């Protein structure tokens, strides 16, 4: 009998399920625990039957298969395959208020279709799965998807498209045609640089008939600083960057050098792992440079209360909590904050986990010289000479040097016939006999780093008395070594040291790519070569040995030894590739030779000049600096800092299954662990957020909740494929962005298709390109660019573009805004003084966030006050005035040509004939009213330009 009923139930539930399925689920699939069941259980059951042991009822956990399938007095909550025998099924249908689940006081009754899904799942065997996002991603095979000719993909094998198209096929969704080329260049340029393409750029692209014209455009746009500025804008939302410290007093905080650091790091395409390590723990790197310490301002961006009424300890703790929650949102994509007061109700994060992370970020001095606003700061300096004249000289020399270097051909590479070892990443040789060279040798490598200490190749362990040879940056931090400069050590005895040390004369840790070489000629010479040019000022100490000792350490690439058998020290942070080892002295074959004479000379002059230079402090930037004595950390019962529970030591959440030995002891170890490529969440979370930036929605629409309550991904396999690709590319962010924008998916038309409207009204499957309103900054910057007012200057202290007179006073806020003079008023919006408690009204009304805490998604409204800004705000009026003047200046008297240029500047396309007619009528009507004097022409065209700046098409990324 039971069987019959079960089948009946099954049919019913299937029917209901079909009716409620979304485009990302399919009726004929088996139910998927992660996608279909866990969200229900988490929402309705976990509050009392979930991970939080304090609120657990009847000892029952429905988040764990063993407990759910286990037996209790009332029988099993779930009997796999037997809904009728399952207590859960009985309870969700119970009529009695004291029995029904979920209990009425939860206020979340199960709907009939939800009950049906649960029953069907039990009938299918009630299979549990580990939550999808906690299982490390494996690279799936991109599916083969034939979509006939309706989709003329520019690159049919693009992996992104193969995943996306597969979904369309499953849903019978027709593909959209590619967008036209005017739309494409406008979309791409706005997305990559935050600015519209100029008419010249558009023409060049339209004329470019090369098959890879689009790819070339991508490369060109990605190489601009504007690209870095635009990406930085998104990161600064996450970093909660602002120019004031928040709370009532909301005074200025000098933290803009951090903003500039972000722009520079992205401009150099710093790999995301390095980007992470520097911001979370750059100060803890050995011999940290100023730039590395500056990066740690990341965690000093949180609002900080000042004033006697704020209880110091209470508000210090709020700051630490903000750090932990930010880590949760930016890297884990988990709502860690839920575990601040109790074990997480939906995800396997305990309160103890929370405070173990807290312990890592709890060791910063809070009070310093300024009450409440204390904490460590660093002096941010910029170079300057005592007389302004010599800084001009320096600039001239730098230009000459750059020119001279530019004239050089690419540095020659080592001829393969000499190479006995070749690596492209961190490695260790199989045994110590390999590469145990005793005579001449040459080592070459391609590097890009900002580290002061970073080994390239080492068979050298002086603590372990196993010396041989070592090459790298910074000499393992040894006394006498030069941080950030090349070094080479060589010894003829493993112990004691009997040989030579060489230190380079120029830093190579400037974050720029270098080809570096060391050549050792036994008993004769050691030469360092940077980018094909010999470092003639390198300093050699000791005597060059006739032979090299054999050590029992294996050759380590990208690391070194510290008295251990494993190369776990002096790790090379940054990009390291094309490491080549030769057992011959072949430097001459990879030198530029005479061609480099001029470069050598200029370099020598510059070095001399730099020795005379002085530095000027321009800002005291809050940064992270570890206390010598770490604070003790305790669990705060119910989140209250006054009621402490058990002491905790630093650790990552247990769910990540890290052994005690591997537990990070400090921020640096934590940061490295975070981006070691093994964490199941980090790469997915990063990829998902970048995807969101282009498509307006992530695969996981809850970008900072990948937990049980988050939304399941629309394209789980594509998400995993991209996550694995990101890690394996060495966290190469440009690679990720490039992959996305070169996909056909990104290049589709933005027209909403009838089929999509019918079967996928939210466009979850991306069968057309979603349009997105530009962020506030880009709306203003674009208007400035179109009108020719925009001033392209990167970085520096914040600027004060005009705001309504006495605006702060009218808003009952302290402080005095004084408008910047001249060019500073027309800088990019990201450089506008970001006052948390009173944003610049132009930007505020267009929805920039106050960044009171980490922002992972901006809300974009469509409201009348924004229309007032675009039509009436003085800066937009000024822009339309300048826009009009530009048309009159560049196109003389011809109305037709003026309109042509106006459309091309504002919309990136020519007007249609109907548009031409409408605008001409508008102009004619205005002419009818007023005399055609020159100044009236300006007024009329001002009205025209204002219309263009206000169009939905203008302020929307197509």
Partner 1 sequence: MTKLDSIETAVARRTFLKESAMGLGSIALQSLMGSEANGDDAKVAHHGINQGILGKTHHPQRANRVIFLFMAGGPSHVDLFDPKPLLNKLEGQKIPAELLKDHQAFALIRGTPELKGSPYQFKSHGESGTIISELMPYLATVADELTVIRSMKTTTNVHDPGVNMMNCGSTLFGRPTLGAWLSYGLGSENQNLPAYVVLTSGADDGQPLLQSFWGNGFLDSRHQGVPFLNGPDPVLHLKNPNGVSRSERRKQLDLMAWMNRQQHQQLGDPEILARIASYEMAYRMQTSVPELKSLNEETRQTLESYGAEPGKASFANNCLLARRLVERGVRFVQLYDRGWDSHTDIQREHKRQCTAADQPIAALLKDLKQRDLLKDTLVIWGGEFGRTPVAQVSGKTYGRDHHPHGFTMWLAGGGVKSGLTVGKTDDFGYHVAEDPVHVRDLHATILHLLGIDHHRFKYKFKGLDLGLTGVDPARVVTDIIG
Q: Which of residues 235-254 bind partner 1 (CB under 8 A)?
A: 246-248, 250
Query: Is residue 428 near partner 1 by the rule CB under 8 A?
Result: no
Residue closer to partner 1 (CB basis): 31 or 850: 850
Query: Is residue 812 near partner 1 by the rule CB under 8 A?
Result: yes
Query: Is residue 308 near partner 1 by the rule CB under 8 A?
Result: yes
Residue ranges in 917-936 that form contacts with partner 1 under rule CB under 8 A: 918-919, 922, 925-926
Contacts of 285 (CB under 8 A, 6+ apart): 277, 278, 292, 451, 452, 453, 573, 668
Residue ranges in 462-481 that form contacts with partner 1 under rule CB under 8 A: none
Query: Is residue 804 near partner 1 by the rule CB under 8 A?
Result: yes
Q: Maximum Cα–Cα distance for the chain, whole Å?
A: 98
- Rounded distance, CA 954 to CA 783, Å? 9
Q: Which stretch binds partner 1 (CB under 8 A): 30-38, 442-450, 482-490, 802-810?
A: 802-810
**CB-based contact 866:845 (threshold 8 Å):** yes
Give the DSSP letter string of 109-151: PPPHHHHHHHHHHHHTT------GGGSPP--PPPPP---TTTS
**CB-based contact 133:16 (threshold 8 Å):** no
Shortest spacing between CB 912 and partner 1, in angstroms:
8
Which residue in the set 196, 282, 303, 374 belongs to the binding site for partner 1 (CB under 8 A)?
303
Residue closer to partner 1 (CB basis): 302 or 596: 302
Query: Is residue 950 near partner 1 by the rule CB under 8 A?
Result: yes
Helix (H) or strand (E) holding 262: helix 256-267
Strands (E), 386-532: 419-423, 427-428, 441-448, 454-458, 469-473, 485-491, 499-507, 514-521, 525-530
Residue closer to partner 1 (CB basis): 682 or 906: 906
Side-chain-facing half-sphere of 789: CA atoms under 13 Å? 26
Query: Is residue 943 near partner 1 by the rule CB under 8 A?
Result: yes
Query: Is residue 402 near partner 1 by the rule CB under 8 A?
Result: no
Shortest spacing between CB 736 and partner 1, in angstroms:
24
Residue closer to partner 1 (CB basis): 216 or 865: 865
Shortest spacing between CB 243 and partner 1, in angstroms:
15
Query: Is residue 952 near partner 1 by the rule CB under 8 A?
Result: yes
Query: Is residue 850 near partner 1 by the rule CB under 8 A?
Result: yes
Query: Is residue 64 near partner 1 by the rule CB under 8 A?
Result: no
Residue closer to partner 1 (CB basis): 295 or 681: 681
Which residue in the set 544, 752, 885, 888 belongs to the binding site for partner 1 (CB under 8 A)?
752
CA distances to 77, 467, 713 from 42, in Å: 16, 58, 17
Contacts of 914 (CB under 8 A, 6+ apart): none
Residue ranges in 249-278 that form contacts with partner 1 under rule CB under 8 A: 250
The residue among 122, 157, 126, 130 whose CA lies nearest residue 143 is 157
- Rounded distance, CA 10 to CA 154, Å? 45
Shortest spacing between CB 65 and partner 1, in angstroms:
22
Give the DSSP letter string of 888-900: HHHHTT-HHHHHH
Instruction: Report helix, strand or coil for 593.
Output: helix
Which residue in the set 98, 107, 200, 430 belongs to the binding site for partner 1 (CB under 8 A)?
107
Query: Is residue 915 near partner 1 by the rule CB under 8 A?
Result: yes
Query: Is residue 771 near partner 1 by the rule CB under 8 A?
Result: yes
Query: Is residue 337 near partner 1 by the rule CB under 8 A?
Result: yes
- Rounded distance, CA 667 to CA 281, Å? 6
Burial (0-12, 13-18, 19+ Cβ within 10 Å), 660 = exposed
The residue among 484, 481, 434 whose CA lies nearest residue 459 is 434
Residue closer to partner 1 (CB basis): 605 or 860: 860
Query: Is residue 953 near partner 1 by the rule CB under 8 A?
Result: yes
871-884: b (≥16 Cβ within 10 Å) or e? eebebbbbbbbbbb
Query: Is residue 601 near partner 1 by the rule CB under 8 A?
Result: no
Residue ranges in 868-887 that form contacts with partner 1 under rule CB under 8 A: 868-869, 871-874, 877
Binding mask 10-49 for partner 1 (x = CB under 8 A): ------------x---------------------------
Total residues belonging to the chain: 958
Residue closer to partner 1 (CB basis): 724 or 870: 870
Residue ranges in 311-330 that form contacts with partner 1 under rule CB under 8 A: 311
**Residue 7: both structure tokens together:** 């089948």
Shortest spacing between CB 759 and partner 1, in angstroms:
8
- Rounded distance, CA 367 to CA 346, Å? 37
Number of residues in contact with partner 1 under rule CB under 8 A: 89
Helix (H) or strand (E) holding 957: strand 956-957
Shortest spacing between CB 552 and partner 1, in angstroms:
53
Residue closer to partner 1 (CB basis): 272 or 354: 354
Residue ranges in 657-716 that form contacts with partner 1 under rule CB under 8 A: 697, 701-702, 704-705, 707, 709-710
Q: Which stretch binds partner 1 (CB under 8 A): 139-147, 552-560, 594-602, 757-765?
A: 757-765
- Rounded distance, CA 88 to CA 109, Å? 14
253-264: b (≥16 Cβ within 10 Å) or e? bbbbbbbbbbbb
Query: Is residue 224 near partner 1 by the rule CB under 8 A?
Result: no
Which residue in the set 97, 149, 157, 805 belongs to the binding site for partner 1 (CB under 8 A)?
805
Query: Is residue 104 near partner 1 by the rule CB under 8 A?
Result: no
- Report DSSP state, residue 364: B
Instruction: Report helix, strand or coil for 288.
Output: coil
Instruction: Report helix, strand or coil for 377.
Output: strand
Which residue in the set 806, 896, 897, 924 belongs to the binding site for partner 1 (CB under 8 A)?
806
Binding mask 822-841 for partner 1 (x = CB under 8 A): --------------xxxx-x
Residue closer to partner 1 (CB basis): 25 or 385: 25
Which residue in the set 7, 425, 654, 757 belongs to the binding site for partner 1 (CB under 8 A)?
757
Shortest spacing between CB 945 and partner 1, in angstroms:
10
- Report DSSP state, residue 635: E
């Amino acid at each position: 009998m039971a069987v019959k009923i079960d089948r009946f139930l099954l049919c019913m539930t299937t029917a209901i399920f079909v009716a409620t399925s979304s485009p990302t689920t399919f009726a004929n699939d088996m139910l998927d625990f992660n996608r279909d069941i866990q969200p229900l259980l988490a929402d309705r059951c976990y509050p009392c039957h979930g991970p939080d042991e304090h609120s657990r009822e009847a000892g029952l956990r429905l988040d764990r298969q063993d407990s759910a399938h286990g037996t209790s007095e009332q029988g099993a909550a779930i009997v796999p395959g037997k809904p009728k025998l399952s207590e859960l099924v009985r309870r969700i249908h119970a009529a009695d208020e004291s029995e029904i689940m979920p209990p009425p006081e939860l206020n979340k009754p199960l709907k009939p279709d939800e009950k049906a899904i649960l029953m069907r799942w039990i009938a299918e065997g009630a299979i549990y799965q580990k939550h999808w996002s906690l299982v490390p991603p494996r690279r799936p095979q991109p599916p083969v998807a034939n979509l006939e000719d309706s989709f003329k993909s520019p690159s049919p094998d693009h992996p992104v498209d193969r995943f996306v198209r597969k979904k369309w096929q499953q849903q019978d969704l027709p593909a959209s045609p590619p967008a036209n080329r005017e739309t494409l260049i406008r979309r791409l340029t706005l997305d990559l640089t935050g600015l519209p393409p100029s008419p010249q750029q558009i023409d060049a692209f339209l004329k470019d008939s090369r098959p890879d014209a689009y790819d070339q455009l991508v490369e060109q746009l990605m190489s601009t600083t504007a690209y870095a500025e635009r990406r930085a804008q998104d990161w600064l939302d996450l970093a909660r960057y602002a120019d004031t410290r928040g709370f009532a007093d909301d005074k200025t905080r000098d933290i803009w050098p951090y903003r500039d650091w972000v722009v520079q790091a992205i401009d150099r395409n710093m790999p995301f792992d390095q980007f992470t390590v520097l911001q979370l723990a750059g100060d803890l790197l050995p011999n940290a440079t100023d730039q590395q310490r500056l990066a740690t301002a990341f965690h000093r961006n949180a609002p900080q209360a000042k004033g006697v009424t704020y209880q110091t300890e209470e508000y210090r703790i709020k700051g630490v909590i903000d750090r932990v929650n930010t880590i949760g949102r930016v890297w884990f994509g988990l709502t860690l904050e839920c575990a601040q007061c109790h074990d997480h109700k939906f995800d396997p994060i305990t309160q103890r986990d929370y405070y173990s992370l807290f312990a890592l970020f709890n060791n910063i001095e809070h009070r310093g010289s300024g009450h409440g606003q204390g904490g460590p700061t660093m002096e941010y300096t910029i170079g300057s000479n005592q007389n302004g004249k010599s800084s001009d000289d320096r600039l001239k020399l730098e230009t000459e040097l750059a020119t001279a270097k530019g004239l050089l051909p690419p540095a020659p590479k080592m001829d393969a016939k000499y190479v006995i070892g070749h690596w492209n990443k961190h490695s260790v040789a199989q045994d110590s006999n390999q590469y145990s060279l005793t005579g001449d040798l040459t080592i070459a490598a391609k590097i890009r780093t900002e580290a002061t200490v970073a080994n390239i190749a080492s068979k050298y362990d002086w603590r372990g008395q196993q010396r041989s040879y070592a090459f790298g940056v910074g000499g393992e931090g040894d006394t006498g070594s030069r941080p950030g400069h090349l070094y080479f050590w060589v010894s003829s005895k493993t112990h004691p040291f009997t040989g030579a040390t060489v230190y380079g004369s120029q830093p190579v840790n400037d974050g720029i790519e270098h080809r570096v070489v060391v050549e050792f000629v036994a008993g004769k010479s050691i030469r360092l070569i940077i980018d094909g040019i010999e470092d003639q000022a390198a300093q050699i100490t000791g005597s060059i040995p006739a032979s090299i000792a054999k050590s029992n350490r294996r050759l380590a690439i990208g690391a070194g030894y510290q008295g251990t058998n494993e190369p776990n020290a002096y790790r090379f942070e940054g990009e390291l590739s094309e490491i080549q080892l030769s057992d011959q002295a072949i430097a001459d074959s990879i030198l530029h030779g005479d061609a480099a004479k001029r470069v050598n000379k200029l370099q020598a002059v510059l070095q001399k000049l730099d020795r005379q230079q002085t530095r000027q402090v321009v800002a005291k930037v809050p940064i992270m600096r570890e206390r010598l004595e770490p604070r003790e950390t305790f669990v705060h019962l119910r989140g209250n800092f006054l009621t402490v529970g058990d002491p905790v030591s630093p650790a990552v959440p247990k769910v990540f299954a890290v052994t005690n030995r591997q537990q990070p002891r400090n921020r640096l170890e934590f940061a490295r662990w975070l981006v070691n490529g093994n964490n199941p969440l980090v790469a997915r979370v990063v990829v998902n957020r970048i995807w969101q930036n282009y498509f307006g929605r992530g695969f996981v629409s809850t970008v900072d909740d990948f937990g049980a309550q988050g939304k399941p991904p629309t394209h789980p396999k594509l998400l995993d494929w991209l996550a694995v690709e990101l890690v394996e590319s060495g966290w190469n962010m440009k690679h990720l962005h490039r992959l996305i924008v070169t996909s056909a998916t990104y290049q589709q038309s933005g027209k909403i298709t009838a089929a999509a409207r019918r079967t996928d009204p939210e466009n979850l499957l991306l069968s057309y390109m979603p349009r997105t309103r530009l962020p506030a900054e880009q709306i203003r910057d674009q208007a400035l660019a179109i009108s020719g007012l925009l001033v392209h200057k990167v970085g520096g202290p914040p600027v004060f573009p005009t705001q309504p007179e006495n605006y702060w006073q009218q808003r009952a806020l302290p402080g005095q805004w004084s408008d910047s003079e001249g060019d500073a008023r027309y800088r990019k919006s990201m450089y506008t003084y970001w006052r948390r408690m009173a944003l610049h009204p132009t930007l505020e009304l267009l929805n920039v966030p106050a960044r009171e805490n980490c922002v992972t998604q901006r809300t974009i409204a469509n409201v009348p006050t924004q229309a007032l800004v675009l039509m009436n705000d003085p800066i937009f009026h000024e822009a339309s005035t300048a826009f009009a003047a530009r048309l009159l200046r560049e196109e003389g008297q011809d109305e037709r040509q003026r309109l042509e240029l106006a459309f091309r500047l504002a919309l990136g396309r020519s007007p249609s004939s109907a548009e031409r007619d409408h605008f001409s009528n508008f102009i004619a009507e205005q002419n009818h009213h007023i005399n055609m004097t020159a100044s009236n022409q300006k007024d009329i065209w001002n009205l025209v330009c204002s219309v263009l700046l206000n169009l939905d098409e203008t302020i929307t990324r197509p």
